[in-house]
Chain A
Amino acid sequence: MLKIENLHASVDGKKILKGIDLTIKPGEVHAIMGPNGSGKSTLSNVIAGRDGYEVTAGSISFHGKDLLAMQPEERAWAGVFLAFQYPVEIPGVNNVYLLKAGVNARRRHLGLEELDAMEFMQLVREKARLVELDQAFLSRGVNEGFSGGEKKRNEIFQMAVLEPSLAILDETDSGLDIDALRVVAGGVNKLRSPERSIIMVTHYQRLLDYIEPDVVHVLADGKILKSGDRTLALELEKRGYDWVREEAAHA
């Protein structure tokens, strides 16, 4: 469903992604791990379509379509979702209004009838329960005054409502205490399905205790240096990233 080939991207002329290859099949969960500054968020942002990143080479195809040619909202309609590492606060824009606009824009795009207010509220309440999000948060401004953990929970709640076919979770685990992590991971697990693929960007292998990945990749210096199964994450936890770099340098 997602095929990234030889992706190079720069910001302000600075090369950050230096040839990423990544293929994800429907239903798969891929973990991307790597040191700070290695380009994980950049990759996430480029997939979601953020301005300011110049793709200098390579391609991304999603369900056979050229993702890089699409606007961020078109990507959302096509089923891409990004849970942000740092979700922004948008005072004055109501959480539920945002989601309703998003869901209905997508439904229009797919030729489906829009949900009316009643149907939508029903959907929203059900999904809020899934991530144990207090109903009071629904009517607040987007992330307005939310704690770090609440913001992350809100991201997963949005994912649940928008039902993407590809979800990128950019360090959704960081800043969560162990109880919150369990809830968020539980929510993500409930959203796993044979049609939905997930990219989990994380520093810590502890998230992988809760959400079992199919593949683990190491991203360092703008490249995927190594891919493996779940045991790779455990090894990274024990040995750090340098040995991967060295191994790659000698390959």
Chain B
Amino acid sequence: MPDIAALRKQAWDAFEQAGLPTTRQEEWKYTSLARIGSTLGEAWWTAADPASLDDADIEALAIPELDAWRVVFANGRLIRGATHLPDGLTLSPLSELLTGNAQQAAVALQWQDDAPLFNGTLAANSALAEDGLCLCLTDGVKLDKPVYMLHIAGNGGASHLRHGLWLGKNSEAHVIEHYAGVNEEPGLTHAVTLVHLGAGAHLYHDRLQDESPKHFHLGRLHATQGRDSMLSSHAVGLGASLSRLDLAVDLAAPGASCILNGLYMPTGRQHCDHHTQIDHSAPHCISREHYRGVLDGRAHGVFNGKVVVHQGASGTDSAQSNANLLLSDKAEVDAKPELVIHHDDVKAAHGCTVGQLDDKQLFYLKTRGMSDEEARQMLTFAFADSVLTGMRVPAVRRFIEKRAFSKLPLGADAEAMLG
């Protein structure tokens, strides 16, 4: 039996030794965590008080008209579980595993033989995570509705969450991670999700970060994909004062494929950083990545998309694009596609653009009678929405569109535009 307390201590020591990443590190060049420390002080590490939320509070934040198994976390603790689960699906709270099933808890925290996961903030998460959701899906089970994880951050403090999604062979699931906030107190959400896809498994994963504007958000998703498995990920960053998402996918066995789509829309003084890495570790894997950013005010966006084609990864097929729309001349984006190829026989394309709205398109819309503002909104919306068209459940896409649109100057008209 693993000794959880000892492992936690080990993780904490590893974190203390590594320290927080600094802007001197290439991976953190544009995102300084100093602001989190100076704003939160000790609260960085201190678990937030359990929040008391009633059903009405939850409904007000939840995605409406979504038929799903809903699991609710408040300030990093599970407060509502899901019932009526089908055979083959288990949803175990990490908090229970930590006291009741050390073996599984250790797997959820991935202590074993996985040194890289001890690095930096991830080690801190391993040491501090108190709760999370461990989803296990038996071989061949296909869920007919999504698992919806709603995270509500309130009254300050830190929420360190660790989720695990284990999909057995040829199983299929759709998981939605939604991060929302209820008040203006600065706090931190630090959420790590580890994903294992068995051979032939399909995971649709939507991640919406829509926390309140003073909050800090550090997110991470690590996926390891088995043979012929498929991951379809949509990551949307709308909220928080400073947010960083690290998304790493290892196409570890032949025939695995992933689609990574993302949208970030920082406004005001928001800072929003997406770092993605796709490892083509095995032959004949396919990756598609499309990220778009819409930046307004004095916002700062960062996109770094790394694709590594490892030796022996014959028949790799990878395409990546990143496009950014600057709505204000004070907004800024640091965008960098990074292609590292250690093998010949590969098909890889990537591109990155930063621009403004297209004058020709604006003029066209106006000659048809759209006002200048309306035309701008419409084009901005169309630009952003193009990365969401592959989303699986219309209720989720609709909700994200509305939330995204509400950040634009004419947001109130969103409903009319969405028709």
Interfacial residues, chain A to chain B (CB-CB below 8 A): 48-52, 71-73, 75-77, 80-82, 84, 87-88, 90-94, 97-99, 101-103, 105-106, 141-142, 158, 162
Contacts and interface: CB of A to CB of B under 8 A. Distances in A.
By secondary structure, the B interface counts as helix
22 contacts: A48-B367, A49-B363, A50-B363, A72-B366, A72-B367, A73-B367, A73-B370, A73-B375, A76-B366, A76-B367, A82-B367, A90-B382, A92-B385, A92-B386, A94-B419, A97-B378, A99-B368, A101-B368, A101-B374, A102-B369, A105-B371, A106-B369
Interface string B321-349: 00000000000000000000000000000
Scoring A50, A98, A101 by chain B CB atoms within 10 A of each residue's CB, the highest score goes to: A101
B412 interface: no
Nearest to A52: B359
B68 to A, nearest CB: 27
A97 B367 contact: no
Interface in B368-419: 368-372, 374-375, 378-379, 381-383, 385-386, 417, 419
Contacts of B364: 84, 87-88, 90, 142
A76 B386 contact: no
A77 to B, nearest CB: 6
Contact of A92 (B369, B370, B371, B381): B381
A165 to B, nearest CB: 13
B365 A71 contact: no
Interface residues of B, number: 25
B368 A162 contact: yes
B101 interface: no
Contacts of A101: 368-370, 374, 378
Given A73-B370, A90-B379, 16 more contacts: A48-B363, A49-B366, A51-B363, A72-B366, A73-B372, A88-B361, A90-B365, A90-B382, A91-B386, A92-B385, A92-B386, A98-B378, A101-B368, A105-B370, A162-B368, A162-B369
Nearest to A106: B369
Interface of B: 358-361, 363-372, 374-375, 378-379, 381-383, 385-386, 417, 419
A49 B367 CA distance: 8
B368 A158 contact: yes
Contacts of A105: 369-371, 374
Given A88-B361, A97-B417, A97-B419, A102 B368 contact: yes
A222 to B, nearest CB: 22
Contacts of A81: 367
A101 B417 CA distance: 9
Contact of A93 (B359, B363, B382): B382
A162 B361 CA distance: 18
A76 B368 contact: yes
Contacts of A99: 368
B372 A71 contact: yes
A77 B365 CA distance: 13
A158 B365 CA distance: 12
A75 B369 CA distance: 8
Contacts of A162: 368-369
A91 B383 CA distance: 8
A93 B361 CA distance: 10
Scoring A72, A103, A105, A158 by chain B CB atoms within 10 A of each residue's CB, the highest score goes to: A72
